[in-house]
Amino acid sequence: MEGKTKVMGKAWAESLRLENIASHRQTLQILLGKNKTCTFEIGCGHGHWLAAYAQQHPEEFCLGIDLITDRIEKCQRKKTKQKITNIGFIKAEASELLDALPPEITFTKIFILYPDPWPKKRHHKNRFIQTENLTRLANHSAIGAKLHFRTDDENYFEWTLAELKKHPQWRILNEAVWPFETETFFEKILKAKRDIVAEKIL
């Protein structure tokens, strides 16, 4: 009985995942419009960083995602209040959003700022930086696209370095300059930070 329950649970989870992907696909078609390239932030929080970036880079369309409804609502209010036209926000889980993304859309820049480090070893499987997710990102990134990762967690920093080093589609850039700075919500709380910049090569 326990085995049957697990199978049913997995089937339900997969069904929900497919529903989410279908919904995101419709939202993306409307949000992206004629844009074929974009700057992508995973875990955009309240949208402070991406909104500031979008205002300084009007030639780029910026897409931010987060899992928490309240955060996305604040992002939308920020977009409206500041009249930012080159930005969009979606409530989505990252892997589902990537699977929903139209194949013709490519990332030129990706930002992952202060993601949940899932510090307990048994929870490491929940970290976004995994081989399959790096592949998803690479498959939607232009050659030369940059992946920017920032964390205050030393273990997650080392984890990400290791994952990128072994991935054939990404190359770590040791001398890269961080392209844009504005203090995020988390940086006000967490002053320590470690940065990684990687380039899509295949």
Catalytic residues: 116
98 burial (CB, 10 Å; 0-12 / 13-18 / 19+) is buried
Q: How far apart are CA 187 and CA 114, in angstroms?
A: 9
Type of residue found at 91: K
Maximum Cα interatomic distance, the chain, rounded to a whole number of Å: 57
| DSSP SS3 for 101 | coil
3-state helix vs strand vs coil in the chain, percent to 5: 45, 20, 30
